[in-house]
C-alpha cells in the first residue's frame, strides 16, 4: 500500500464529500470484468481489496480510493502476422490486390475473433484525497497514468477542479543551484543520482547513478549550461526519492524511521494493518508536500 511514486494535483476548490458520500458516487463506476469483446475496463474497487465493500478508506482527513484496470492482451505483432497471412492467402487465391479499406475490415474481424480468447491482465491504481490540505495524490510513475485516474474521478463526480502541482520557483533552476553549490537546503539532502539536460531543443542528456555529484566532471556540464531535471534527494532521514522538474516524485522510499514506527503499531489483521500504514503514510506525505512546496517558493500564482 505504501506509495512508490507521487503525481500531485492541487484541488482548486475544497473537497466537500464525506468518505461515505464519495463511496456512493463511486458506485456508479464500480470496476467490472472485461466483456468478451471489450479490450479494456476501468472502474473503482475497494482499496482494501475485492473482499471489502467500501470504495473508500479514510484516515486523518484523507480518503483513499483505488481504480482497477483490466486489459485483454492482444499483441499487435500477433494481429499483424495473422493479418498478413490472411491478406496473402486472398491475393494468391483470387489473383488480386487487397486494398487498404478491405485490409482494415479484415483486421477488425480478426480482432473481433481473437478478443474473447485473449488473456486478461489487471492492475490497480491508488490515490488519496487530502481534504484538509486540498491535494489529490496519485501513486503513478507517469503523468499519463495519473491523468487517467483523475479523468475517471472527474467523470464519476461530474466535476473535479484540479491541476498538477505548480510551484513559484523553477524546479530545474533550484535543483541546478543545489547541485552547483549556489544554494543549499538543510532538509533536502542531495544523494548520488541525477539527470542533466541542455536547455536547447534536442540538446544532450547526462545521466549519473552512484556517483559523487560534487565532482569536477558534473561541474563542467553545469558550467556549460545544462540544467538538472531529475535529482535524488533525502528528506529528514524519513523519505528518499527522485524529484523531477515537473514536481513528480519517482522511486519514493519510506526510510527506517517511518517503517519502524509502522512495525511497532499492533495490527490484528490485514484491514487494520492497511489502516495503520495509510494513517502513517498520509500524515508523513502531508508534512513532506508542505515542506516541498515551501522550499520551492510556494504555489505558483493562478493565471
Residue 279: other Cβ atoms inside 10 A: 16
Could you report the per-residue pLDDT of 90-148, keeping only the tens digit for each?
Answer: 888 988 898 999 989 989 888 888 888 888 899 999 999 999 999 999 999 999 999 99
Pairing mode, strands 188-197 and 40-45: unpaired
Q: What is the pLDDT of residue 182?
A: 66
- Are the CB atoms for 187 and 288 separated by under 8 Å? no
Question: 119-151: b or e for each residue (b if 16 or more CB lie within 10 Å)?
Answer: eeeeeebbbbbbbebebbbbbbeeeebbbbbbe
pLDDT of 302:
64
| C-alpha torsion sign, points 223, 226, 232, 236 | positive
Residue 232, Cβ neighbours under 10 Å: how many?
Answer: 21
User: b/e map of 87-103 (b: 16 or more CB within 10 Å)?
Assistant: beebeeeeeeebeeeee
The pLDDT value recorded for residue 51 is 79
Q: Classify each residue of 152-191 as buried b or exposed e, where b means 16 or more C-beta atoms within 10 Å of its C-beta.
A: bbeebeeebebebbbbeeebbebbbbbbbeeeeeeebebe
pLDDT by residue for the chain (303 residues), tens only, comes to: 799 999 999 999 999 999 999 999 999 999 998 877 788 899 999 999 877 899 999 999 999 999 999 998 888 888 898 899 888 998 889 888 989 999 899 898 888 888 888 888 999 999 999 999 999 999 999 999 999 999 999 999 999 999 999 999 999 999 999 888 767 778 899 898 999 988 776 678 888 887 777 766 777 878 788 899 999 999 988 999 999 999 999 999 999 888 888 888 888 888 889 999 999 999 999 999 999 999 999 999 865
- Model pLDDT, residue 29: 96
The terminus-to-terminus CA distance of the chain in angstroms comes to 36
Alpha helices in the chain (DSSP H): 19-26, 76-94, 100-114, 143-157, 171-180, 216-223, 256-264, 270-295
Classified by CATH at the fold level, domain 7-70+123-163 comes out as TATA-Binding Protein (3.30.310)
Handedness of CA 229, 232, 234, 240 (dihedral sign): positive
Amino acid at each position: 500500500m505504501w506509495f512508490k511514486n507521487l503525481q500531485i494535483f492541487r484541488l482548486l476548490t475544497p473537497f466537500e464529500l464525506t468518505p461515505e458520500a464519495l463511496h456512493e458516487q463511486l458506485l456508479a463506476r464500480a470496476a467490472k470484468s472485461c466483456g468478451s469483446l471489450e479490450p479494456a475496463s476501468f472502474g473503482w474497487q475497494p482499496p482494501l481489496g475485492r473482499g471489502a465493500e467500501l470504495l473508500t478508506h479514510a484516515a486523518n482527513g484523507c480518503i483513499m480510493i483505488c481504480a482497477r484496470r483490466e486489459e485483454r492482451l492482444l499483441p499487435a505483432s500477433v494481429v499483424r502476422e495473422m493479418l498478413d497471412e490472411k491478406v496473402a492467402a486472398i491475393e494468391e487465391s483470387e489473383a488480386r490486390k487487397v486494398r487498404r479499406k478491405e485490409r482494415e475490415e479484415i483486421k477488425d474481424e480478426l480482432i473481433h475473433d481473437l478478443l474473447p480468447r485473449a488473456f486478461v491482465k489487471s492492475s490497480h491504481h491508488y490515490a488519496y484525497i487530502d481534504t484538509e490540505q486540498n491535494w489529490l495524490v496519485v501513486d503513478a510513475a507517469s503523468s499519463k497514468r495519473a491523468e487517467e485516474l483523475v479523468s475517471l474521478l472527474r467523470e464519476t463526480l461530474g466535476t473535479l477542479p484540479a491541476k498538477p502541482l505548480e510551484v513559484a520557483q523553477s524546479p530545474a533552476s533550484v535543483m541546478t543551484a543545489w547541485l552547483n553549490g549556489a544554494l543549499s537546503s538543510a532538509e533536502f539532502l542531495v544523494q548520488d543520482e541525477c539527470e542533466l539536460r541542455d536547455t536547447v531543443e534536442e540538446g544532450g542528456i547526462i545521466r549519473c547513478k552512484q556517483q559523487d555529484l560534487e565532482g569536477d566532471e558534473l561541474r563542467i556540464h553545469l558550467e556549460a549550461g545544462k540544467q538538472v531535471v531529475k535529482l535524488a534527494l533525502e528528506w529528514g532521514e524519513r523519505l528518499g526519492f527522485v524529484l523531477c522538474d515537473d514536481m513528480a516524485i519517482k522511486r519514493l522510499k519510506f526510510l527506517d524511521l517511518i517503517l519502524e514506527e509502522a512495525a511497532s503499531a499492533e495490527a490484528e489483521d490485514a484491514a487494520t494493518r492497511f489502516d495503520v500504514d495509510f494513517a502513517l503514510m498520509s500524515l508523513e506525505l502531508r508534512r513532506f508536500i508542505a515542506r516541498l512546496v515551501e522550499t520551492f517558493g510556494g504555489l505558483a500564482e493562478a493565471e
